[in-house]
């Protein structure tokens, strides 16, 4: 591939939203022999150029995998249990209706310019993030209803919302709400995107950026306030992280195999087998959040008929999709939420492949097979189109297999590929039958953004429906014992009414050479490299 083609490829990949490419469960890296040691530069091959490395403005996986190392958050989230744990805040509490959260900051943490991480800095950071508006695509949503931050005292900040926002506690653990130094806001958002004036309190600091080539981070000297979930305390092991931008999967895997790279992200299913031995290891984690799914517009064509949507749900063989197009690293969907999402419900029985059941539903609904096998009813053909963008390498192959599966029940699925920007416009206009996408977040509130009539409403439902009630209920308390029944109900309603047809969980696959260790994931399946080391 020519340098120009590579540049175009990288430029195209810049637009991929993190919301459409993400994964999470326990990693599979084998225990390394010998204790971790300090020093060295990790050469890490990533699949696309970060569009921005300011944590507050990040919108792609590549961006978050860089910015997570630069800035700390008030809290952290346990990847296994989903529990929120201390980081910059040593403790916190919320009021009864989850409209106010008070964080008590640990002492001693500083930003890389030497200023303290105090309540005033928290206020400046959150106010600054809110002022970014849509330039902060993830964080702005997490701060919906933000009324402001009160500096109670130098180590205590109270953050208030105009409506219940239980999701904010988990959001406080994400890189999108990481705390930046007051001095960072003296630079423009565009400057911070390129690393200029990007001042965080993280274990690494920005060193250099070569557009579409590499980004280098260096160890923060004197760092001693790591997350309570980190495997060691003190400074990071690595001296530097050198992110090499290598868009072509074959070049990326070849560079790891030849020793030019120490680890790579986004290992494609076809390339996985070559890194399951011979001194290589793979670290694998499925994404939490909304799984890859066919999200139905219930106001369009044949999809206005619930029995048709339910037949499609029964007519998709999720196990065949994973076994044929993907690898054992990927999981068939067991709910609209991935299995790594806190408060996930196991609805695998409702999502079992049932070709006969699908045919029976359509027969009973008056859909008659035509000469070509596709059913018709009152002159209408049983057909709908799915809109997708190739943000995941295997998307088209998956959809082509689903297309074949649905033909067996007499349903004609048409496949429409668009750029990510085009897909976004189509979604906003409601000009689709099915949308194909996934969204990553380690909190069930991610459903509210896609299904609530007060938010994304991708199903185009009528306000005040039972799903709205369940989504609002799960957002009103941080008490999981009280929150779970509402989250369970929301997932059940989505599957029962086939507002969306869950298919599979996206998975993050990182391959490491024998030299690299603990290139690991946090709860949202983004890279956390504080504990990474080289032998």
pLDDT digits (tens, 9 = 90+) for 317-357: 999 999 999 999 999 999 999 999 999 999 999 999 999 99
CB 201 within 8 A of CB 69: no
pLDDT of residue 216: 98
Q: Give the per-residue pLDDT at 466.
A: 98
Span 208-217, average pLDDT: 95
Q: Which residue's entry shows tokens 């027969």?
A: 363
pLDDT, the chain, mean: 92
| pLDDT at residue 4 greater than cutoff 60 | no
pLDDT, residue 188, reads: 97
Q: What is the mean pLDDT of residues 463-479?
A: 95
- Of the segments 270-279, 381-390, 415-424, which one has the largest average pLDDT value? 381-390
Any idea of the CA torsion for 455, 457, 461, 465, to the nearest 10 degrees?
-40
Q: Which pLDDT value is given to residue 7?
A: 35
Distance CA 384, CA 267 (A): 32
| Residue carrying the six token digits 């959150």 | 126
CB 67 within 8 A of CB 55: yes
Q: Output the pLDDT for position 169.
A: 97
| Residue 166: DSSP 8-state | T
- Which DSSP category does 343 fall into? T
d(CA 141, CA 136): 8
pLDDT of residue 61: 86
- φ, ψ of residue 114 in degrees (nearest 5): 90, -10
For residue 9, is pLDDT > 70? no
What's the confidence (pLDDT) of residue 6? Answer: 37
Q: State the pLDDT at residue 33.
A: 57
| CA within 13 Å, CB half, 267 | 29
Asked if residue 501 lies in contact with residue 323, where contact means CB atoms within 8 angstroms, the answer is no
Handedness of CA 41, 45, 50, 55 (dihedral sign): negative
Which CA distances in Å does 114 have to 92, 202, 217, 293? 25, 12, 18, 46
What does the pLDDT read at residue 294? 98
- From 7-11, 484-488, 522-526, the region with the lowest mean pLDDT: 7-11
**For range 149-177, the mean pLDDT:** 97
Q: Are 251 and 271 in contact (CB under 8 A)?
A: no
DSSP 253-310: HHHHHTTS-SEES---GGGGGGGSSTT-EEEEEEPPEEEEEEEE-TTSGGGGSHHHHH
Of 24 and 114, which is predicted with more confidence? 114
527 strand-pairing partners:
521
11-50 pLDDT, tens digit each: 333 333 333 333 333 333 334 457 999 999 999 999 989 9
pLDDT given for residue 440 in this prediction = 93
What DSSP string describes 221-263?
Answer: TT-----TTSSS-SS-S-SEEEEEE---HHHHHHHHHTTS-SE
Please report, for residues 256, 279, 422, 437, 442, the alpha-carbon distance to residue 514 in angstroms, rounded to integers and kept in the order given: 11, 5, 42, 35, 30
Measured CA distances, 493 to 203, 436, 470, 485 (Å): 43, 19, 9, 12
Confidence of residue 393 (pLDDT cuts 50, 70, 90): confident
The token pair at 273 is 């087998």
* Residues 6+ away with beta carbon under 8 Å from 112: 181, 199, 200, 201, 205, 220
Q: Is residue 181 within 8 Å of residue 113, measured between CB atoms?
A: yes
Q: CA 422, CA 474: separation in Å to the nearest integer? A: 32
Contact, 345 vs 30, CB < 8 A? no
Q: What's the token pair of residue 200?
A: 């965080």
Scan for tokens 């540049």, then name that residue. 7
Cβ count within 10 A of residue 518? 21
Predicted structure pTM score: 0.88
Q: Look at residues 106, 113, 86 and name the one whose alpha carbon lies nearest to residue 154.
A: 106
User: In the chain, what percentage of residues exceed pLDDT 70?
Assistant: 94
Q: Is the pLDDT of residue 460 over 50?
A: yes
């Amino acid at each position: 591939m020519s340098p120009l083609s590579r540049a175009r490829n990288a430029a195209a990949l810049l637009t991929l939203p993190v919301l459409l490419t993400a994964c999470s469960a326990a990693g599979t890296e084998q225990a390394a022999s010998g204790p971790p040691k300090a020093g060295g530069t990790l050469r890490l091959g990533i699949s696309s150029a970060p569009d921005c490395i300011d944590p507050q403005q990040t919108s792609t996986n590549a961006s978050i995998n860089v910015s997570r190392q630069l800035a700390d958050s008030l809290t952290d989230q346990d990847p296994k249990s989903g529990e929120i744990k201390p980081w910059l805040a040593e403790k916190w509490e919320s009021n009864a209706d989850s409209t106010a959260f008070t964080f008590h900051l640990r002492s001693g943490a500083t930003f890389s310019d030497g200023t303290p991480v105090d309540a005033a800095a928290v206020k400046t950071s959150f106010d600054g993030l809110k002022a970014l508006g849509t330039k902060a695509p993830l964080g702005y949503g997490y701060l919906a209803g933000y009324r402001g931050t009160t500096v109670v005292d130098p180590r205590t900040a109270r953050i208030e919302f105009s409506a219940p926002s239980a999701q904010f506690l988990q959001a406080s653990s994400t890189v999108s709400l990481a705390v930046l130094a007051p001095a960072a806001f003296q630079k423009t958002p565009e400057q911070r995107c390129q690393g200029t004036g990007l001042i965080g309190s993280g274990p690494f600091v920005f060193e250099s950026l070569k557009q579409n080539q590499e980004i280098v981070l260096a160890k923060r000297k004197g760092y001693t306030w790591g997350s309570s979930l980190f495997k060691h305390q003190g400074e990071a092991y690595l001296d530097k992280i050198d992110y090499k931008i290598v868009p072509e999967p074959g070049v990326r895997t070849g560079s790891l195999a030849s020793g030019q790279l120490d680890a790579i992200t986004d290992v494609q299913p076809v390339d996985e087998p070559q890194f399951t031995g011979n001194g290589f290891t793979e670290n694998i984690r499925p994404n939490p959040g909304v799984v890859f799914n066919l999200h139905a517009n219930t106001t369009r064509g044949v999809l206005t008929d619930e029995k048709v949507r339910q037949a499609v749900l029964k007519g998709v063989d999720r196990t065949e999709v994973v076994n044929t197009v993907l690898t054992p690293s990927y999981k068939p969907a067991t709910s609209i939420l991935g299995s790594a999402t806190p408060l996930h419900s196991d609805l695998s029985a409702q999502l079992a492949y049932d070709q006969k059941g699908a045919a029976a539903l359509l027969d009973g609904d008056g859909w008659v097979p035509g000469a070509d096998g596709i059913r018709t009813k009152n002159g209408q053909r049983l057909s709908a189109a799915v809109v997708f963008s190739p943000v995941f390498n295997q998307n088209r192959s998956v959809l082509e297999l689903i297309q074949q599966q649905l033909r067996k029940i007499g349903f004609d699925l048409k496949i429409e590929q668009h750029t990510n920007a085009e897909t976004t416009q189509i979604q906003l206009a409601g000009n689709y039958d099915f949308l194909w996408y996934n969204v990553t977040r380690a909190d069930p509130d991610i459903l509210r953004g896609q299904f609530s009539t007060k938010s994304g409403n991708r199903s185009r439902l009528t306000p005040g429906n039972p799903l709205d009630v369940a989504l609002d209920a799960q957002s009103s308390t941080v008490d999981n014992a009280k929150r779970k029944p509402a989250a369970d109900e929301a997932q059940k309603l989505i599957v029962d009414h086939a507002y969306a047809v869950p298919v599979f969980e996206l998975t993050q696959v990182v391959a490491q050479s024998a030299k690299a260790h603990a290139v690991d994931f946090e709860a949202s399946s983004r890279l956390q490299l504080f504990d990474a080391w080289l032998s």
